[in-house]
Chain A
Amino acid sequence: MSLNADNIYIGYHGTDYDNVESILKNRFRISDKADEWLGHGIYFFTEGISDPIENAKEWAINQAWDKVAKRYSYQKYAVLKAEVSGERVLDLTTTEGLRVYNEMRNLFIREWVEVSKRNLSQKHAVLEAEVSGKRVLGLTMKEGLLDYNEKRNLFIREYESLFDRGRDIRQDNCKMSNLIIKRRKLDILINHLYIKNKTQRILNLVSNAPNTTVMLVTKPQSIKSIKIISSGEII
């Protein structure tokens, strides 16, 4: 990561050359899909595992490829260099940063489970009240009305479905990062990530070994300067 005495971080962003004018004029667009790697914000490659300028160039070229049409959707890429200022920075490429991220994550998970258990318990109390009321009145359940056990099982299934193995883990990751970013008012979040290059995309290869270092900037106003440093044709 590039950091000088003024807490300025350097990031590189690869994009369609046609976007450059708009970015220079209107700043970057916030990436806000449900499964963004590190949460919502503006993504840059930064110094770390590999050459961030090459990473940005490769990203721009790979993004141009239209898998359906089997052709490049734009013909010229650009790499932009940004200077970013941040006071509240969490760097997950350090042991300390990763430890703190995980401790915060564990705090939230514990409370998430507690809130869900509380709600489950409240719903169960309502169900108990209903059953108790029926007994007081000497009424019996009629056919077609779900009985106590069925309702209770519905609640339990609802609770269990929160932690269902089939859910999209990338979205969990994004939600958790967004929560930490918001509650701790983070300006910047940095992490090593595995991002497929062209060959790895073609072969659909995944790896647990990160190959790039990525910086997420959460607020456009943290970006102090932007300039284009390279561009070229996509062949």
Chain B
Amino acid sequence: MITPEQMLQEAIEEINSLSIDELEAMFREAGFDLVSKEPEDYASLPNEMTTAEWVDPVTLTLSLTCKFAMNDEFLDIAA
């Protein structure tokens, strides 16, 4: 028989050994709600700002700093 205290020690060792990504996967699998990692709220935002407005021909490389805010269309053009 495993004692409760042994189980607790196992739990502490296991949690300490898991990376934060592994912990996240564990919680998601267990059905725990978590803040979504991806900024998916952006997908539903009004996309009034066009690609042309974002791509500055002089500072194209700088524009890549905004890539997180951009959609696939922008990334295709920038690439």
Contacts and interface: CB of A to CB of B under 8 A. Distances in A.
Interface of A: 7, 34, 87-91, 94, 96-97, 99-101, 103-104, 107-108, 111-112, 114-116, 118-120, 122-123, 126-127, 129-130, 132-134, 136-139, 141-146, 151, 154-155, 158-159, 161-162, 175, 178-180, 182-184
Contacts of A143: 48
A87 B4 CA distance: 11
Interface in B6-27: 7-8, 10-12, 14-15, 20, 23-24, 26-27
Contact of A112 (B32, B37, B56): B32
Select the residue from B27, B32, B63 with max chain A CB neighbours within 10 A: B32
26 contacts: A87-B1, A89-B2, A97-B4, A101-B4, A103-B8, A104-B7, A114-B23, A115-B34, A116-B35, A118-B20, A123-B37, A123-B39, A126-B68, A137-B63, A138-B56, A142-B48, A144-B46, A145-B48, A145-B49, A151-B41, A155-B35, A162-B33, A175-B31, A179-B30, A180-B11, A183-B26
B30 to A, nearest CB: 5
Given A142-B49, A159-B35, A183 B11 contact: yes
Given A104-B11, A137-B63, A126 B49 contact: no
B59 A136 contact: yes
Nearest to A34: B31
A137 B1 contact: no
A120 B66 contact: no
Contacts of A123: 35-39
B62 interface: yes
Contacts of B48: 142-145
Interface residues of B, number: 42
Interface of B is mostly: helix
Give the top 3 A-B pairs by smallest Cβ distance, nearest first: A133-B66, A130-B69, A100-B4
Given A115-B20, A139-B54, 12 more contacts: A100-B7, A114-B20, A115-B34, A122-B37, A130-B69, A137-B62, A139-B53, A155-B35, A155-B41, A178-B30, A179-B32, A184-B11
Interface of B: 1-2, 4-5, 7-8, 10-12, 14-15, 20, 23-24, 26-27, 30-39, 41-42, 45-46, 48-49, 53-54, 56, 59, 62-63, 65-66, 68-69
Contacts of B15: 107-108, 111
B53 to A, nearest CB: 7
Contacts of B59: 136-137
